Amino acid sequence: MSQTSHISIRNVHKIFESGGQEVHALKAINLEIPQGQFVCLLGPSGCGKSTLLNAVAGFSLPTTGVITVEGAVITEPGPDRGMVFQEYALFPWMTVEQNVAFGLQIKGVEKAAIEAKVAELLAMLNLTDFRKRFPKDLSGGMRQRVAIARVLALDSPIMLMDEPFGALDALTRRNLQDELLRIWTELQKTILFVTHSIEEALYLADRTVVMTYRPGTVKCDIPVELPRPRDVASPAFNALKKDLSQLLMEEQSRHNQAEFRGAAVD
């Protein structure tokens, strides 16, 4: 099993302490993700999809259970699992090229090699003309390109993406989704992508994992076998979208009920 799996998540539980109460955020999660697969984690807010991503990233380890990457148990964050955040998280005091170069400098790559790699990545993401700009002078879409370039610079086999396009307008979003697919095809990365958009999951993923609202478990694990490039208007796409909406709405209503109960207690 572990020979074919790139990321292996086995019987992972995560329990938080919140206001004196224990919150079971993740319960008995099992996922085997092969090398080069594009996996979307889909679910309503509070379903623990970001918690699971953070556990893979090593920011917040599971309470019980193990996550392994190429057989090695994850104990801390590392550059083998580059993460792209929804809020971009670019360093505002660094220019575009300094942001992209930072990971390479940490690795101790020599200067000429850094310059070459940065130039290549900036060209790949159409950022060359903006290399001397500071993040504050860039649009949201541009910032997220920089954040992607910063992670790609690490040459990490795995990319973790936490609702990376959630704050972008629809056109920029589609544009970046296409670029991500292009990069993924070219560089053969394993991608774990969190989203709450059904359409985004179906447009991007090889496989969509739908999660339940508290405790977060795997509700269903659906392969998306539509040929690429995918047509969001095709009947097959919409049939899948309808099925997934149904599944997601069940969890959303559990979420709503829980919120109403919470309000009643307050």
Partner 1 sequence: MKRYRHAASGVLVPLAAIGFWQLLSSMGWVNATILPSPMAVLVKWWAYLRPLEVFDPAQGSYLQWCFSGELIHDAMGSLYRVLVGFVIGAGLALPLGLTMGYSKVAYALFNPLVQVLRPIPPIAYIPLSILWFGLGNPPAVFLISIGAFFPVLMNTVTGVQNVDSIYLRVGRNLGASRLTQFTRIILPAATPYIFTGARIGMGTAFIVVIVSEMIAVNNGLGYRILEAREYLWSDKIIAGMFTIGLLGLGIDTLMSRLSSHLLKWHRGLEQG
Give the binding site for partner 1 (CB under 8 A).
57, 59, 76-79, 81-83, 85, 87, 89, 91-95, 102-103, 106-107, 134-136, 150, 154
Angle (CA) 220 223 228, round 5°: 145
Cβ proximity to partner 1, 103 vs 164, nearer residue: 103
Q: Are 4 and 34 in contact (CB under 8 A)?
A: yes
CA distance 57 to 161: 10
Q: Nearest approach, Cβ of 42 to partner 1 (angstroms)?
A: 23
Cβ proximity to partner 1, 15 vs 89, nearer residue: 89
Query: How many residues can be counted in the chain?
Result: 266
Q: CA 65 → CA 15, 18, 42, distances in Å?
A: 12, 21, 21
Q: Are 69 and 26 in contact (CB under 8 A)?
A: no
Token pair of 98, please? 């300094």
Q: How many CB atoms lie within 10 A of CB 129?
A: 9
Token pair of 64, please? 């019980």
Q: Nearest approach, Cβ of 106 to partner 1 (angstroms)?
A: 5
Q: Nearest approach, Cβ of 221 to partner 1 (angstroms)?
A: 27
Cβ proximity to partner 1, 148 vs 240, nearer residue: 148
Q: Nearest approach, Cβ of 218 to partner 1 (angstroms)?
A: 25
Cβ proximity to partner 1, 23 vs 89, nearer residue: 89
Q: Nearest approach, Cβ of 95 to partner 1 (angstroms)?
A: 8
CA distance 255 to 95: 41
Q: Nearest approach, Cβ of 83 to partner 1 (angstroms)?
A: 5
Cβ proximity to partner 1, 132 vs 228, nearer residue: 132
CA distance 52 to 194: 9
Cβ proximity to partner 1, 85 vs 237, nearer residue: 85
